[in-house]
Structure 1
Amino acid sequence: MSAKSPELNYTMRVGFIPRLGSSIPNDPVNWAIDQLSYNKPLKSPAANRSTDPAFEEWPAHLDPGLKERLINVWRWDEARESLRKKHANEERLLREKLDEAQFKYDLRWFDAAKFNHYGAYGEDPVRQRLGHFWFNHFTIGSYDSFYTAGDFYEHRILENLNGSFADLLYDATTHYSMLRYLDNVDNVSPNSEQGRHRRQEGKQVGLNDNLAREIMELHSCSPAQGYTEDDIHNAARILAGWGDYAFNPRWAYQEWKSADYPYIKKRADTGTKVVMGKKYGRGSSALKEFTNDLAALDKTREYICHKLALHFISDEPSKKVTQALENSWKNSNGNLLAVHTTLLELAWSEGENKVLWPSHWLFNIVRAADAHYFDSHQDITSWQMGREVVKPMRELGNSFWEERQPNGFPLKSREWISLEHLDRRVRFAQSVWNRAFVTAKPKEIMDHLQVPLSYQSKVMEFGQGHEQFIALTVNRWMMEV
């Protein structure tokens, strides 16, 4: 198997392959670093899969903001209850009406489509790859959390890529998707006003420590910090009052400061909390103080830097690599722009063999072939069509819009190596060739990627175009760096 050029190998390690017609960067490290400051809106196909689609900016109404998304959740709940009463004895009609209502208020399908378009057409592939890492680190993986997942990715992950880790940790923790996914919406302090009332009414009340546990175990310092169950319990007390089970615009704003600040005082703990020897007082400001303290821990720096190296550089990152990242973190007080810049420099000089995530492989072959594989927002006209948007990544086992465990997708290569994964990629390579308007011949694609002639000749030994395309795309050359 012939080696890729260092420049192409690097673009695949930290970003995606340039689409046919664009050049592989001659100065790939600066190409990558420049993308950290990219802020242009996404342009993607406007309608209908085509060999020559019209491109336009992603519509603003499909990114309505968190408040409007939460209002839509409430409207969907109201519509569902009303339809079930109205069509209680008409099962088929009820299903149709429920599908129509859900599609009206549920933006998950469009969020997934936008995510795909970023990967297939975006001009900031490095920024997106970093976004994918952090979206995976701060996993949100339950049905209800997906209603606002697009806002979480766009406005909490991507908008914080150049800020401090402390701000990213706080903003990810307080977003509705995270509060909903890890059940903090059920976290009511027994000594709060609402907790006392519930006990008086004979109702069960208690803390939910899911988010408290994960913010320490998975999002910041890791178990290496040596915290105790008492620390987790008191962290849950700090988090009590953040989020609520359901957003209702009739009353929510009487209690929340805003949709972006969903703190409910009457559900919050009123006492002093001690976590890892530090005292925290009452009120909403305690959470920001707590996340700042977590972000400043040495174990947090070590844990996050190791994960970054594991995903982008090596399955067994060297001390040289992790130390360089940790030094960048320490010298910049956890500034992610500085850390990401160091990461991109190290990826050029220190990168070792890594198997790409299936989603990244699919984006790469679509871009390399200049294909139009993913539906546009205008093509999604029903709930059923929306389900088709998430189907490819679901079948590849790498969908951010499917339920999964809080530790996210695996970062080590061995988790993505199996006969089943290889079979899936064969089927998807065939699918891209058959239905994505691939007008470029395999020879043109290989010339674009500067594939050595010795390797090209092996690919061309396969008889037909689709066989050559599969031979080109389903192998170590395309699946790993």
Structure 2
Amino acid sequence: MAVDPRWTALALGRFGLGARPGDLARAEPVEEVLRGEIQAGVVPLPGGPSLSSASTLLTALQAEDQSRKLARAGNLDAPTPEGPPAPPIPERTYQAEVAARLALAQQAPTGLVERLVWFWANHFTVSVVRGANLRVSAGAFEREAIRPHVLGRFRDLLLAAATHPAMLIYLDNIASVGPNSPAGQRQGKGLNENLGRELLELHTLGSEGGYGQADVTALARILTGWSLQRDGQAAGLPGATAFRRAAHEPGAVTLLGRTYLDVGPEQLRMALDDLAVHPATARHVALRLARHFVADDPPPALVARLAQTFIDQDGDLSRVSLALIEAPEAWNPVQRKIRSPQEFLVAALRGLALAPHPGMVMNGLAALGQPFWSAPAPNGYPDDAGAWASPEGLRTRLDLAARTGQLAAGTDPAAFAESVLGPLATDETRTALRRAESRAQAIALVLMAPEFQRR
């Protein structure tokens, strides 16, 4: 069977991170390539000497804070540094994490698995806007809680995300204490319901999943005691996740009509296992996946099929992902989705074979409103055209496209258009290329063409 380059171009934009030079000339049908990536079950991990576990990074941050306090107190024995001071640990860590993620995106054969990582990291949002502790641990959260499970069981992904140090910090569970626990009675502290609420509303059942305020409170009670290791005296590094029995609300808890006995940390695991297989969770996950990859208002039949696969396969995300790319509704030739800022910039770098400069990309994403791990709220970055296709947003994209065109001014614009768009390129785009005043302008025109902006 002959390979259709139009389908290859469509798939690499819709399901991947965009075509690289030579990708549209693949000899193997793109559907088989995508299917093979999922079935291989390999999720690459970003590497580099600067990338450590969240607990190690949080411990280093605490040490740096203590060192600064000593310096401010007049530590005359401290050595005088030579040259400009190094950026603080949170900024160094954040930049290293972004650089590693960009390298993976540039190297990915299609980018499908990376797109799944991006989707799930946004689904289980933690954001660096909440301060240094998150700036130092958000990348580790993706590496430790998201990547190992994006092709595994949803229940494992849910537990890993909910109990990771970054999530416990971000949604204030480290400040949540059972009112009737020994710690609560001694300190006069009580519940913080943020993590319980978002686990129900955003991560599992969805806002229309049939839960009420009593369920939010119940899950918050179950979550008490899940905090961070405070020192190195117990098992685990300071900053690692720890279950603190003395802060856990005692007694059985009824959540969504089911009672969970007070069996320590197993109480949360049992509750999350049940939430992970709830039919409302299946519908919520299916809707978000279909909305992200296919259309802002996805076909109901597609959503229903993904939800049923989720239920039938016990939340096996590799099988759900296969059902997505095998669904006929997902291959509608009309490009309905607009690329998010992250997708747009990465696709441009891949198509032009430009080495991603982290500083340039971070500045560009900041201008476009989508820096890595920086969503303004726990519901993550939006996934619809209205959020990214505003007049101001498109003007900023045009500015970035012009700068990128200047960086790649030695590239043949016609060959570039053929390598990233192929048969998707319209007559209007090809005419605009011929009329461009310079190579840089022509490249910018390709980047701003509707068939490149959309997927």
Normalising by structure 2, what TM-score? 0.88
From 66, 70, 89, the counterpart of 1:78: 66
Over residues 188-212 of structure 1, what are the superposed CA-to-partner deviations in whole Å (9 max), with x where a residue is unaligned?
111112112213xxxxx11100000
CA distance in 2, matches of 1:101, 1:78: 16
- 1:448, distance to aligned residue in structure 2 (A): 1.9
Per the alignment, residue 342 of structure 2 pairs with 359
Over residues 336-375 of structure 1, what are the superposed CA-to-partner deviations in whole Å (9 max), with x where a residue is unaligned?
0100111111264346511111110111111111112424
1:19 paired to 2:1: no
Per the alignment, residue 210 of structure 1 pairs with 194
Normalising by structure 1, what TM-score? 0.84
Q: Please list, as runs of the form range in 1=range in 2, the aligned pairs for 1:107-146 lying within 5 A after superposition.
A: 107-123=93-109, 125-141=111-127, 142-143=130-131, 144-146=133-135
CA distance in 1, matches of 2:416, 2:248: 59
CA distance in 2, matches of 1:389, 1:345: 33
Q: Secondary structure at the match of 1:222?
A: coil
From 51, 57, 68, the counterpart of 2:56: 68
- 1:22, distance to aligned residue in structure 2 (A): 4.0
Q: Please list, as runs of the form range in 1=range in 2, the aligned pairs for 1:58-207 lying within 5 A after superposition.
A: 58-59=47-48, 61-86=49-74, 100=86, 102-103=88-89, 106-123=92-109, 125-141=111-127, 142-143=130-131, 144-199=133-188, 205-207=189-191
Over residues 266-303 of structure 1, what are the superposed CA-to-partner deviations in whole Å (9 max), with x where a residue is unaligned?
11111111111111122111111011111111111111
Distance 1:23 1:349, change over 3 A: closer
Q: Please list, as runs of the form range in 1=range in 2, the aligned pairs for 1:423-438 lying within 5 A after superposition.
A: 423-435=395-407
CA distance in 1, matches of 2:443, 2:374: 29
CA distance in 2, matches of 1:185, 1:10: 43
1:339 paired to 2:320: yes
CA distance in 2, matches of 1:32, 1:206: 48
Q: Secondary structure at the match of 1:236?
A: helix
Residue type of the alignment partner of 2:414: K
Per the alignment, residue 296 of structure 1 pairs with 277
From 229, 232, 235, the counterpart of 2:216: 232
CA distance in 1, matches of 2:292, 2:388: 13
Contact 1:221 1:299 in 2 (8 A): yes
CA distance in 1, matches of 2:443, 2:106: 18
Residue type of the alignment partner of 1:342: A
Q: Secondary structure at the match of 1:188?
A: coil
Q: Secondary structure at the match of 1:39?
A: coil
Q: Secondary structure at the match of 1:224?
A: coil
Over residues 125-160 of structure 1, what are the superposed CA-to-partner deviations in whole Å (9 max), with x where a residue is unaligned?
100111111111001012222311122112211110
Per the alignment, residue 51 of structure 1 pairs with none
How many residue pairs match? The answer is 436
Structure 1, unpaired ranges of 5+:
43-56, 200-204, 376-384
Residue type of the alignment partner of 2:433: V
Q: Secondary structure at the match of 1:162?
A: coil
CA distance in 2, matches of 1:82, 1:403: 34
Contact 2:97 2:139 in 1 (8 A): yes
Q: Secondary structure at the match of 2:192?
A: coil
1:396 paired to 2:368: yes
Structure with greater contact order relative to length (CA < 8 Å, sep ≥ 6): 1
Contact 1:355 1:480 in 2 (8 A): yes
Residue type of the alignment partner of 1:129: R
- 1:34, distance to aligned residue in structure 2 (A): 1.8
- 1:38, distance to aligned residue in structure 2 (A): 5.6
Deviates more, 1:162-171 or 1:449-458: 449-458
CA distance in 2, matches of 1:87, 1:430: 50
Q: Please provide the CA RMSD for this pair.
A: 2.7
Per the alignment, residue 284 of structure 1 pairs with 265
CA distance in 2, matches of 1:326, 1:302: 5
1:29 paired to 2:18: no
Distance 1:366 1:105, change over 3 A: closer
Contact 2:178 2:249 in 1 (8 A): yes
